[in-house]
Chain A
Amino acid sequence: MRKIKSASDLERWKEDILTKQKKHEMVLSVCGGTACHAYGCKEVRDRFAKVIQKIGGRHKIRLMFTGCRGFCEKGPIVTIQPQGIFYQKVQEKDVPLILSETIEKGKVLEHLLYEDGVTKQKVTSEKDIPFYQAQRRLVLGSNGRIEPTKIEDYVEMGGYQALAKVLFKMNPDQIIDEIKVSKLRGRGGAGFPTGLKWESCRNIPGDIKYVICNCDEGDPGAYMDRSLLEGNPHSILEGMIIGAFAMGANQGFIYVRHEYPLACRNAEVAITQARKAGFLGKNILGSGFDFDVEIAKGGGAFICGESTALIASIEGRPGEPRSKQIHTVEQGLWGKPTSINNVETWANVPLIIQKGSQWFSSIGTEKSKGTKIFSLVGKVKNTGLVEVPMGMTLKEIIFDIGGGPQNGKKIKAVQTGGPSGGCIPASLFNLPVDYDSLTQVGSMMGSGGMIVMDEGTCMVDVAKYFVHFLEEESCGKCLPCREGLKRMGEILDGITEGKGNEETLSLLEELATVVADTSLCGLGKTAPNPVISALRYFRQEFEEHLYQKRCPAAVCPSLIRYSISESDCTGCGACKKVCPTQAIEGEKKQNHRILSELCSKCGSCKEVCKANAVIVL
């Protein structure tokens, strides 16, 4: 790899790469995101490589193994350029056919195309698929166009141009002004203005300062940061170098959960390449600025996403937070000024520098600018990562992009903001998604998890789930969080078993208020949110559990019983076959029966019954 010593060097490198890439007549990209891996994308890619080599097409066809393309549910995804063909659910056995039909003869294979859920029409091109149509993939879009482990791909796309611009054409104050004017807010959840954070960090006197990229994406149900760091690690590095230059930091850290091994690996490769190319290290691009980045791994503690706990963890201590009277921008890592920003925030920085703050602030709402990536998951048809301009309504995201409910069930709520957020009922789906609107209805933006819930989701169970989650993740340093969550969990356990009286809900609310008011850090302060929001919008469900001893969503095991309707059962035996506990008896073509003493209430029988004969009492 060549060492880039100036801005013009970088320009020449880009030109050379472009000339080289022009030789390829066709680009075949296989999505290498983690979900696609689960569906066997590696086997697909290896098979492609083998077959392409066999036909001697290596010079004409470029085979790419990209980062996550977002439409995870349809993986493995293969796209063919310049034709723009989008194949979904590709298996290893499809590879020879794609080669012989599509690549050699130009014929599109119908059975691999996406089928529109409403019109039942086959769609050939990615841009015509409704899931992608309504999105604006400014940050995530590059994932499908580059190989994360090839720095050349990033440079070819105009990568590191923003870095060259700040090093040679801007001074730190101008950079900070640009970020301030863009109104970029932190994408990790709280939405603090990034420019202001940088300015405070810059203004604190001191020779040693640090920048940190927070990729401790602990919110269950969210994986945007993972996909960004896995799929486009150089964009995050470039953002960090720009930030470090603006704030006067010479050392950076990327803090990654160890549950994300591919993200760790790709980030490590990117750092090594950036060092070799001269984007990291001493005298970057000949500007005289020194900066380097290291990776710090997490150990499976949710609390380490909190800035002071994260710092403790990098310092090699247990991740316990401290009181934030003195902010981390003043005293952070080893007591030095430190700016911690989220992965997605860093990834937005090069875009703002290159395209300008005016362009950036033209997207979004008045107080929330730009786009936001959400992980749209749960009980919705199209699951995956979606990037939309701030201000799009929940309805548009869930129904237009997400394709609405799965299996015809009614969607009743969406959970945003992870364990610090809340459930927003379907009646509020016209709400524009931005930092302030979500907070107003008792939830929050959070890092971007959007978990859709339908009538088969019990809201008491969800509240219980989050409380137990946080109880387990509480570091135990302060009492209200450690003990309060435990007691709230006990009360919720009781409710899901139908135990409690008239005072139970008010006691739960009182405890929630105390925990929120008196906890030390953000984890405890926001921990009661899922309970409070569930009580606010779904109080009736709590009351049904308590007073009528029934779970309307048929989830809570203590309050339900499975049975087979004699009049509807066709005796097909499907339920008997799938029952993991052998709790179903009955002869073929005869009525079947559930033995309640053996039934584990998993609902497998209900899912397979075509006659809808399995009922929950």
Chain B
Amino acid sequence: MNLEPVGKIIDKHQCKRTALISILHDIQDRYHHLPKEALKKVASRLQMDPNDIYGVATFYKSFSLIPKGKHSITLCLGTACHVRGGQNILRELTKCLGIGPGQTTKDKQFSLNAVNCLGVCAIGPVMLVDGKFYGEMNPVKTKRMMEKLDTNRSGVRS
């Protein structure tokens, strides 16, 4: 595994321990997960025990030790989205993708995540697909969106 980007990420954050979470975020953005070798490198550069790094990587929900899909689908299940039927969207997504929250499709194309609030409450239920927000979702809209995804597995076109 080419760990050069990891070194650059650590340099960017000036090797600071306070930046550990930011460093892990950047590594995850680069590799779509936190590779073991990368974590070892972070530990040695930050002069921390690898166990402590592992503790942080597994405590925070944003991190994943297994590779994530190329495209990420994040569903908000905050209170505002919940009272407007967020669970129905989750049911539909699970059905369409064949995976549950926190899982990745076998072809490594899509990861489904359910989070507690994306902070776009006024237009809930909200879904975030590859960094773009989609508001006022309902099961039908979700199904149509997933159909588009399926025929064109390179992302969603709205």
Q: Is the CB–CB distance between B61 and A457 below 8 Å?
A: no
Q: Do A299 and B116 form a contact, CB below 8 Å, given A316-B48, A375-B122?
A: no
Say whether, besides A378-B79, A457-B83, A259 and B140 are in contact (CB < 8 Å): no
A462 touches B116 (CB 8 A): no
CB-CB under 8 A from B81, the residues of chain A are: 220
Interface residues of B in 35-87 (CB under 8 A from A): 46, 48, 52, 55-56, 59-63, 77-85
Tell me, in angstroms, the Cα distance from A384 to B84 when the chains sit together: 15
**Inter-chain contact A38/B22, CB cutoff 8 Å:** no
B83 touches A378 (CB 8 A): yes
From A90-98, A162-170, A274-282, A290-298, give the one contacting chain B: A290-298
Number of interface residues of B (CB under 8 A): 52
Q: How far is the CA of A261 from the CA of B118 in the complex (A)?
A: 10
Are A258 and B116 neighbours in the complex by a CB distance under 8 Å? no
Contact bitstring A574-615, B, C-beta under 8 A = 1, else 0: 000010110000000000000000001011100100000000
Q: Provide the bound-state CA to CA distance between A305 and B77, in Å.
A: 18
Contacting pair B134 A469 (CB below 8 A): no
Flag whether A185 is at the interface (Cβ < 8 A). Answer: no
- B118-143 near A? 1/0 per residue, CB < 8 Å: 11111110100001111100111011
Binds B, one of A221-229, A324-332, A362-370: A221-229
Interface string of B17-48 (1 = CB under 8 A from A): 11111101100000000000000000000101
A154 interface residue (CB < 8 Å to B): no
List residues of chain B with CB within 8 A of the CB of A383: 80, 121-123
Of the candidates A73, A313, A379, A462, which one forms a contact with B123 in the assembled complex, judged by CB atoms under 8 Å apart?
Answer: A73
The smallest beta-carbon distance between A221 and chain B, in angstroms, is 4
Q: Which residue of B lies closest to A468 (CB)?
A: B77
Most buried by A among B17, B56, B117, B126: B117
Number of interface residues of A (CB under 8 A): 67
Contact with B along A306-345 (1 / 0, CB 8 A): 0000000111111110000000000000000000000000
Are A607 and B138 neighbours in the complex by a CB distance under 8 Å?
yes
Q: For residue B121, give the distance in angstroms from its CB to the closest CB of chain A.
A: 4
Are B83 and A35 within 8 A (Cβ)? no
* B120 and A34 contact, CB distance less than 8 A: yes
Most buried by B among A253, A298, A300, A415: A300
> Is B105 interfacial (CB 8 A cutoff)?
no
- The answer to whether A226 touches B83 (Cβ under 8 A) is no
Tell me if B84 and A299 are in contact (CB < 8 A): no
B20 touches A316 (CB 8 A): yes
Residue pair A302, B123 in contact (C-beta under 8 Å): no
- Chain A 4-38 interface residues, beta-carbon cutoff 8 Å to B: 34-35, 37-38
A7 to chain B, nearest CB (A): 33
**Set of chain A residues within 8 Å of B97, measured between Cβ atoms:** none
B115 at the binding interface (Cβ < 8 Å)? yes
Mask of A457-480 contacts with B, CB within 8 angstroms, 1/0: 100001001100100110100000
For the complex with contacts A38-B120, A375-B122, 4 further pairs of A-B residues with Cβ separation under 8 Å are A38-B126, A253-B18, A316-B21, A453-B83
Interface residues of chain A, those whose CB is within 8 Å of chain B, are 34-35, 37-39, 72-73, 75, 217-223, 226, 253, 257-261, 294-302, 313-320, 375, 377-379, 383-385, 415, 418, 449, 451, 453, 457, 462, 465-466, 469, 472-473, 475, 578, 580-581, 600, 602-604, 607
A-B residue pairs, 7 tightest by C-beta: A299-B60, A220-B78, A72-B122, A318-B59, A38-B133, A316-B20, A221-B79
